[in-house]
Amino acid sequence: MNPIDQAISFYKEEVEAADLYTYLAKVEKNPQTKSNFEALAKLEKAHAKFWHQFLKDRNIEIPKEKSRKLRLFTYKILRTLLGSKLFVTILEMNETTSTESYYRYFNEASLTEEEKLILSKIIEDELEHEKMFSRQKDKFSIENIRDFILGMNDGLVEILGTVTGLSAVYPKSPITVGTAGLVVGVAGALSMAIGAYTSVRSQRQVNEGIKKKMELLFRVSKDRAKEEFLNKLSESGIPEDIGREIVNKLSDNEDAMTNLLTEEISENEIKSALYTGIAYLVGLVFPVLPYFIITSSSLVALAFSVIFAAIALSIVGIIVSVASESLSIKGKVLEMVATGLGAAVLSYLFGTLVQKVFGISA
């Protein structure tokens, strides 16, 4: 893209961003977040004004503004579906991309000294945007996105594999396949929920045990407690001389030492279990549903089951990619779909083998 076309693109992006933040400020109920969005809208309008003047000074026709109602509506739906935490992550990723593009333009394009000064200030603003989103993201209360994603993914892949294998065994009985998949799915959901509950609770109990041990050591022998702390620092890869310096500076701060030795568990085990179990049930719906709709052939139902599962796996892949802030969306989606459908293919082959070996027909 040549410098002029890129400047036009920057102008459009800033205008769209200003509209987005203005809209978000209107619908936001939290006063602090509302104020942040209003401040961002004001900044983005100033940035758009710079690019407008930049293009005007070079006698470039300013693009006519198009209606952005559909885009704003899409963002509204995204925020509702993904929740505030993931939505803010998307905005943060956009700001990171803008910052990198502006920095390249600052170094490569032909700019006046005044334009360089203003653009450097714009880059500073964009970096501040990233910080604001990072702070805002940390405040949101959605702590079980990971549980939901993992639970839904497991439900999709495991039950798709189940119904695929059973379709080879019972090609003419979709209801049998669907019912079996549903029974296996409910049992799997209960198992996953119990596993999530046990995992979070066990980690909390381990941390409580470490804290009690450190408290006891401090009461009995402060020197022994400091030695224990030094050993933990060494195990984590911190050089001994630096570790001893840390221990000496924290020698009288029992709470600080204990907190550094334990990982704070903010998750609620009951909530984690519910998210995981419900997500598993949501995941099983996609591969199982066609077997209750198409009652003539399990293989026909299987085709729709694979399509539904692929769509659902793609959605999960997008969410995982966005949540990670670093993974390629395309790569993650391909990985999720390939592994899920690969498991289905292997299950079908195994089901066919079982049918041949045991002579099952239905």
In this structure, are 69 and 123 located in the same domain?
yes
- The pLDDT value given to residue 89: 60
Mean pLDDT calculated for residue range 305-326: 76
Shared-domain flag, residues 273 and 331? yes
pTM for the predicted model, two decimal places:
0.58
Domain end (from 134, 151, 174):
134
Buried b (16+ CB within 10 A) or exposed e, 261-283: bbeebebbbeebbbbbbbbbbbb
Indicate whether 165 and 25 sit together in one domain: no
* Whether the predicted pLDDT of 141 surpasses 50: no
Tell me, yes or no, whether 326 and 238 share the same domain.
Answer: no
Predicted confidence at residue 297, as pLDDT, reads 92
Q: What is the mean pLDDT of the chain?
A: 80
- Considering the chain, what percentage of its residues have pLDDT values greater than 90? 22
Q: Give tens-digit pLDDT for 26-81.
A: 877 778 878 888 888 898 899 999 999 999 999 998 877 766 676 677 677 767 66
Residues 239 and 326 placed together within one structural domain of the fold:
no
Domain closes at, from 261, 280, 313: 261
pLDDT on residue 261? 61
Q: What percent of the chain has pLDDT over 70?
A: 79
Same structural domain, 86 and 56? yes
User: Taking Cα atoms as reference points, which of 73, 93, 158 lies closest to residue 318?
Assistant: 93
Asked if the model's pLDDT at residue 325 lies above 90, the reply is: no
Residue 60's region, left for phi above 0, alpha for psi from -120 to 50, else beta, is beta
Joined tokens for residue 230:
């030094």
Question: Which pLDDT tens digit goes with each residue over 222-273?
Answer: 777 777 777 877 877 888 888 788 777 776 676 776 666 665 666 778 888 8
- Quick one: 42 and 63 in the same domain? yes
| Matching residue, tokens 């503004």 | 65
| Integer Cα distance of 129 and 47 in angstroms | 13
Residues 31 and 115 in one domain: yes
* pLDDT over 80 (residue 215): no
Half-sphere exposure of 219 (CA within 13 A, CB side): 6
How many folded domains does the chain comprise? 3
Rounded Cα–Cα distance for residues 329 and 202 (Å)? 34
Q: 3-17, 85-99, 180-194, 321-335 — which is least confidently predicted?
A: 85-99
State the CATH number of the domain containing residue 83.
Answer: 1.20.1260.10
* 140 pLDDT more than 50: no
Residue 142 confidence (pLDDT): 47
- Residue 252: domain span: 200-261
pLDDT at 45: 92
The rounded distance, in Å, linking the Cα atoms of 31 and 25 is 9
Q: End of a domain among 261, 279, 300?
A: 261
Same domain, 65 and 84: yes
Mean pLDDT value across residues 166-182: 91
pLDDT for residue 210 is more than 90: no
Give the tokens for residue 153: 């993914």
Tokens for 257, please give them: 């030492």
188 with 311, same domain: the answer is: yes
**Mean pLDDT along residues 272-289:** 90
Same domain membership, residue 111 and residue 76: yes
- Which range has the top average pLDDT, 69-73, 86-90, 144-148? 69-73
147 & 56 share domain: no
What digits encode the pLDDT tens for the residues 192-203? Answer: 899 888 888 887
